[in-house]
Amino acid sequence: MKLHLGGPLALALLATTIGTGSGTANAADPTGSRTVTLGYSVQGRPITAVETGDLDSPNRTLVVGCIHGNESAGIAVATRLARGAPPSELDLWIVPDLNPDGVTAGTRGNGHGIDLNRNFPWRWQPLSGLFDSGPHPLSEPESRIAYRLISRLQPRISIWFHQHLDVVDESGGSLAVERRFAALTGLRLARLTREPGSVAGWENHRFRRGTAFVVELPAGTLDRSAAARFAKAVLTVSRAGAPRSQAG
């Protein structure tokens, strides 16, 4: 099933998709998967999400494979999750690539040269150069797409893949979840700089019942076994839920 969500009715339409399955309308516990077109990039490329699993579960996880165009290894993890069997007791939302213009150009920023991870409305600051934060928060269509999706879903866990530091970041949410993910993947746990206008910072500030964190993958591409290991870790921590304890 493929849905297209764009323009001013996107938020209302997205609300109607949550809790409905690709099977029969009266299914007690609908499972399956579908693709949703969330909107379009600066240069008109579609930004899609795959919803898979238990489609009416309140236990929702969001995975974003790429937000910086030159840090695209997480797309392999997202693709692995999207192609896997729908998980039970979990409503999993996967956005393989939030910045298709940047990926195409091999640049950090989007089609306007804006760093999307400095463009969210929590401690936003005007920045220029490589980390250009845009003229104001949510100035970019890609940022607005993520903002609308997260505001509607309010996921219990959000995982944002980056590169190339090879760590799980203590991003300000549940330290227990971050620690568990690091142990499952063999990455070290470290607290990176809390950047202004970051999406994980905004999520952890805005939605206190959930937790968002950054996973910095190693440089280069992920082989199949590594992508499978990270995908399995996503499912493991997601099924356990996201207690907000020991927030940093």
pLDDT tens per residue across span 191-212: 999 999 999 999 999 999 999 9
Token duo for residue 167? 């760590």
Please report which confidence band the pLDDT of residue 246 belongs to, taking 50, 70 and 90 as the band edges: very low
CA distance 24 to 171: 40
CA distance 192 to 56: 35
The phi and psi torsions of 58 (rounded to 5 degrees) equal -75, -10
What was the pLDDT predicted at 27? Answer: 52
Q: Is the peptide bond before 205 cis (omega within 30 degrees of 0)?
A: no
Asked if pLDDT for residue 28 goes beyond 90, the answer is no
Please report which confidence band the pLDDT of residue 245 belongs to, taking 50, 70 and 90 as the band edges: very low
What was the pLDDT predicted at 41? Answer: 98
What was the pLDDT predicted at 104? Answer: 98
Right CATH for 2-240 from 2.20.28.10, 3.40.720.10, 3.90.1300.10, 3.40.630.10: 3.40.630.10
| Helix axis angle, 141-153 to 10-17, nearest 10° | 40
CA distance 80 to 195: 29
Between 181 and 240, name the one with better pLDDT.
181
pLDDT tens per residue across span 49-80: 999 999 999 999 999 999 999 999 999 999 99
| Helix axis angle, 74-83 to 224-240, nearest 10° | 70
Asked if pLDDT for residue 25 goes beyond 70, the answer is no
What was the pLDDT predicted at 30? Answer: 82
Q: How many CB atoms lie within 10 A of CB 186?
A: 11
What was the pLDDT predicted at 240? Answer: 86
All structural domains of the chain with their residue ranges: 2-240
Please, how many CA atoms are within 13 Å of residue 38, restricted to the half-sphere of its CB? 26
CA distance 198 to 115: 10
What was the pLDDT predicted at 18? Answer: 41
Asked if pLDDT for residue 11 goes beyond 50, the answer is no
The arithmetic mean of pLDDT across residues 160-166, rounded, is: 97
What percentage of the chain has pLDDT greater than the value 90? Answer: 84
Asked if pLDDT for residue 169 goes beyond 90, the answer is yes
First vs last C-alpha separation in the chain: 40
Rg, Å, the chain Cα set: 17
**Where is average pLDDT lowest: 4-18, 129-143, 190-204, 228-242?**
4-18
